[in-house]
Amino acid sequence: MFDAVYARLKAMAARQLRVRDRGTLDTTVLVHELYLRIGKHDQLHFDDPAQFFAYAAQAMRHLLADHARDHLRQRAGGGWVAITLSGSDSGLALEDAQGALALDSALHQLEAIDARAARVVELRYFAGLPLEQVAEQLGVTRRTVDRDWAFARAFLHDQLA
């Protein structure tokens, strides 16, 4: 199934990486890392593409958070010398990494309060699914997804402000 959805995963990754400058992480690296993570789990089986995209959205969220943690660890690495090849401000990269971790932490808090609203965020924000497909994936009405999406956005805004 991975081969069949490769182009869609690249689009998902491009959308996530376009939101903020992710430094050395690009769409191909993100999709290939996702492939490696999925390949580690032989017991994973998906009945349809929607189920696969739900899993991929959650895995992509975790990959981006892991990348941000790695970036922050490198920034605290003592005597390392940073060389900027792209000309972008390294301060922005640090803020981006901290923002990614703050978002991941806020999503964990949201998941503890309302797991379905957290799934809506993953499917909408990380997978880039339209709200109609999110509703179909979760087996609820579009109106329910609209309420969950509004609640999740307000909750995340409050947590990240």
Domain assignment present for residue 1? The answer is no
Q: Are the CB atoms for 159 and 109 separated by under 8 Å?
A: yes
In this structure, what are the phi and psi dihedrals at residue 31, rounded to the nearest 5 degrees? Answer: -65, -40
Question: How many residues does the structure list for the chain?
Answer: 161
Domain assignment present for residue 134? The answer is yes
The predicted model scores a pTM of 0.56
pLDDT 10s digits, 24-78: 567 777 777 877 777 777 777 778 777 777 888 888 888 888 877 777 766 555 4
CA 18 to chain CA centroid, nearest Å = 12
Q: Which domain does 56 fall in, by range?
A: 6-160
Q: What is the count of structural domains for the chain?
A: 1
Give the C-alpha separation, 48 to 7, whole Å. Answer: 16
Tokens 């690495």 sit at which residue?
Answer: 77
In this structure, what are the phi and psi dihedrals at residue 3, rounded to the nearest 5 degrees? Answer: -60, -40
Domain assignment present for residue 22? The answer is yes
